[in-house]
Structure 1
Amino acid sequence: MDDGCTDDVSSDAFVMRVAPSLDAFSSAEWANLAGASRENQATPYNPFVSHAFLSSLEDSGTTSPQTGWQPQHLRLENSDGALLGAVPCYLKSHSQGEYVFDHGWADAFERAGGRYYPKLQVSVPFTPATGPRLLVAPGRDAGAVRQALGAGLKTLCERLGVSSAHVTFAPETEAAALEEIGYLRRTDQQFHFFNRGYAGFEDFLASLASRKRKAIRRERREALGEDITIERLTGADLTEAVWDDFFRFYMDTGGRKWGRPYLNRRFYSLIGERMADDIMLVMARRNGRNVAGAINFIGGDTLYGRNWGCIEDHPFLHFEVCYYQAIEFAIEKGLKVVEAGAQGQHKLSRGYVPVTTHSAHFITHPGLRDAVADYLVRERAEVAQIGAYLEEHAPFRKARD
């Protein structure tokens, strides 16, 4: 299964191709896959699996062999050449930018004499947001297509001679389907806000315990206490000058947090050209200039918070720009969920509740597979235990409050 080659991977005459870039799919073809466009209602639109987002990563050089993210997308066709499904997949030479950490697995395998890299990564690069990974064309048997895609990924692993394939931030249904064909299931935790039909931000606050409600009001007030104003920008508001400011914030914060930020300036210009109406940028201004910002992507029923940055430090400004503005926007637009990215138990007291995330892992070496499987049993139990504890400490009003 190489570039330009085909293989049958099931008795149903499925044909799997490996595409070295998203150019192997027309934008219309890709948009027809579940979750990849607003027009396809079978699955709520996820902007991160859209052709616009993924092609912007490639065309900006952010995902490339040089950055250790070599596209190896799977394209599943029937015997007549009709597209049945696809997988956004990358050949990785490291484990950076994934947010589901396997560095320990790599270290242990290599200390034992194995070669962990390269590996296959099925994900949206640099994006810890759950969304479809086994993309299915409408009118097809979703179960059969997902099984074929999962089997094709295993075959590609073996053909390339790589150690493993990792399907991260997948819907639980996809992770379960992959587990049925030999993948190992992994769980983790994030914090999401759920819009329970709130009429406005004050209605949301009324659902919280009084102490939490007062704390949020104080944080919002103090965040704007130094003549700071907040703007929400989308569509035509996203000018190159705005992107210049935001990229400066991203580089400053990303450089301090990661050492080397993942995204480049051209990437932001491309998404501004290709999907501006799917972006909501929150910018904080003081003394006539932007001093902080956060980028959000608007899905079919979810607002996805991604990168934040600042060039001035102000108390509680991060919470206002990243969390409270996102909640307010989601309520105004009738969106059901806000996903605010990875990690951060501090989100709990601000109305975000713990949610389990899922991934699936195929490991070729029997010894490494057994060791990882044993580890994952204990890790899943710990994740569940922590989740139950955090649920008990959710900030919402009790009956007596």
Structure 2
Amino acid sequence: MKLRQLTQIDQVDASRWDALLPGNYPFLRHAFLAALERSGSVGEGTGWLPAHLIVENSDGSLQALLPLYQKMHSYGEYVFDWQWAEAWERAGQNYYPKLLAAVPFSPVQGPRLLGRCTASQQLIVQALNDTLERGLVSGVNLLFNDDAQSPLLQQAGWEQRLGCQFHWFNRDYRSFDDFLAECSSRKRKNFRKERQSVVAQGITFEWHQGIEISEAHWERFFPFYAETYLKRGQQPYLSRAFFSQLSAGLSDAVRLVFARQDGRDVAGALFLVGDDTLYGRYWGCLEEFDRLHFETCFYQGMDRCIAEGLKRFDAGAQGEHKLVRGFEPVLTQSWHKLQPGLHEAVAEFLQRERAGVRAYQQESTGYLPFRQAT
């Protein structure tokens, strides 16, 4: 087997890359990563330089892969290491560049290091460790992975970091009322009141999916997406071209919803679909409307899960306000291997942090709206 580094995802065929993916997880598909690169959302000038690793057999068949980027900053990651960077630079060292195994701008848990056999995955992990030992980077960070790769990383001396997100689970509901039936009486009233307040403002919703989504739809959506960043004084992470590329290569996974009032768009949200999961990704609104964010980003997504028979709704990172709307606390993880000195200090911090995150997850369940068992 031979290890190869790619400076562009297009240096490997989409069919060979996707053949290693388990199921239909959209964020690791070749088309998604290619859309980021072809649209200029990652690449030169963005602080995200593709450095993907693959392992091939002599016949060219792909045996393992890892989406990898050389990072010159820590934006767009959602696992925050700014304090690590500050401490390392106070010690007279350069924190950047670092290596990041992740899906850019996407805090969604799923597969990261994939291989047909353990030996091919070990080849990639060893290459990452070698890069670190040569002092070329301050560390290697693998974000939002599932459990499949954890034993291998732990054995190689990496440190686990835990996080907490809030996901909604569809327990074979036939309608939103079935979900409400599991909630306390007071919470049911609150949900109905929130949803009715949006109806009372004359707002309706228009869903689009798959190949029916045209360039005109993206022209309508992009100002909403961009406004989310512009109102904070930031430039959007994703270019307008990304959404066209996404639609061209991943149309089966795309769901788009517009909130409309008096015949005009007032908000928009983008979702992606995997095997059994709806992923809420980007939303925006140019005006303020009472409860519109909750309806567009949460309740509409819950309705969509029920309609499509999807089991889980991942509505994005953070947001304790999701708890009272039935989104349950779930642990996420990342793994880190850093330069000597920094690694030991971070490991001690992460040990304490893991205990705190687990306690927070347990405590958070008390804010869920479900009826207590008697």
TM-score for the superposition, normalised by structure 2: 0.97
Q: Tell me the equivalent position of 2:194.
A: 219
Asked if 2 retains the 8 angstrom alpha-carbon contact of 1:170 and 1:358, the reply is yes
Task: Supply the distance in 2 between the matched residues of 1:235 and 1:294 (Cα, whole angstroms).
Answer: 15
Amino acid at match of 1:73: H
Asked if 1 retains the 8 angstrom alpha-carbon contact of 2:269 and 2:284, the reply is yes
Asked if 1 retains the 8 angstrom alpha-carbon contact of 2:139 and 2:336, the reply is yes
Q: Which runs of 4+ in 1 moved over 4 A?
A: none
Q: Tell me the equivalent position of 1:9.
A: none
SS of structure 2 residue aligned to 1:65: coil
- CA 1:285–1:160: 2 relative to 1, 3 Å: farther
Structure 2 residue 60 is the aligned partner of structure 1 residue 81? yes
Among 15, 18, 30, the alignment partner of 1:51 is 30
Q: Tell me the equivalent position of 2:173.
A: 198
- What's the RMSD between the two structures over aligned residues? 1.4
Asked if 2 retains the 8 angstrom alpha-carbon contact of 1:147 and 1:178, the reply is no
Task: Supply the distance in 2 between the matched residues of 1:304 and 1:147 (Cα, whole angstroms).
Answer: 30
Structure 2 residue 213 is the aligned partner of structure 1 residue 238? yes
Q: Tell me the equivalent position of 1:176.
A: 151
Amino acid at match of 1:29: R
SS of structure 1 residue aligned to 2:237: coil
Amino acid at match of 1:22: I
- CA 1:87–1:64: 2 relative to 1, 3 Å: same
SS of structure 1 residue aligned to 2:316: strand
Asked if 2 retains the 8 angstrom alpha-carbon contact of 1:90 and 1:121, the reply is yes
Q: Tell me the equivalent position of 2:222.
A: 247
Task: Supply the distance in 2 between the matched residues of 1:244 and 1:333 (Cα, whole angstroms).
Answer: 26
Superposition deviation, residue 236 in structure 1: 3.1
Asked if 2 retains the 8 angstrom alpha-carbon contact of 1:304 and 1:341, the reply is yes
Task: Supply the distance in 2 between the matched residues of 1:160 and 1:274 (Cα, whole angstroms).
Answer: 38
Q: Tell me the equivalent position of 1:301.
A: 276
Residue by residue over 1:36-59, the C-alpha shift from the partner in whole angstroms, topping out at 9 and shown as x without a partner, is: xxxxxxx33111101111000000
Superposition deviation, residue 241 in structure 1: 1.9
Superposition deviation, residue 260 in structure 1: 2.0
Q: Across the two proteins, how many residue pairs are aligned to each other?
A: 374
Task: Supply the distance in 1 between the matched residues of 2:20 and 2:233 (Cα, whole angstroms).
Answer: 34
Task: Supply the distance in 2 between the matched residues of 1:153 and 1:133 (Cα, whole angstroms).
Answer: 14
- Deviation larger for 221-230 or 294-303: 221-230
Structure 2 residue 161 is the aligned partner of structure 1 residue 186? yes
- CA 1:156–1:112: 2 relative to 1, 3 Å: closer
Task: Supply the distance in 1 between the matched residues of 2:220 and 2:86 (Cα, whole angstroms).
Answer: 39
SS of structure 1 residue aligned to 2:40: coil
SS of structure 2 residue aligned to 1:81: coil
Amino acid at match of 2:244: S
Amino acid at match of 2:77: E
Task: Supply the distance in 2 between the matched residues of 1:337 and 1:157 (Cα, whole angstroms).
Answer: 37
Among 71, 78, 82, the alignment partner of 1:99 is 78
Task: Supply the distance in 2 between the matched residues of 1:245 and 1:344 (Cα, whole angstroms).
Answer: 26
Structure 2 residue 372 is the aligned partner of structure 1 residue 385? no
Among 360, 369, 373, the alignment partner of 1:395 is 369
Identity of aligned residues (%): 46
**Residues 107-186 of structure 1 aligned to structure 2 (within 5 Å):** 107-136=86-115, 140-141=116-117, 143-158=118-133, 161-186=136-161
Structure 2 residue 368 is the aligned partner of structure 1 residue 368? no
Structure 1 residue runs of 5 or longer lacking an equivalent are 1-13, 35-42
SS of structure 2 residue aligned to 1:208: coil
Structure 2 residue 317 is the aligned partner of structure 1 residue 330? no
Q: Tell me the equivalent position of 1:344.
A: 319
Q: Tell me the equivalent position of 1:33.
A: 20
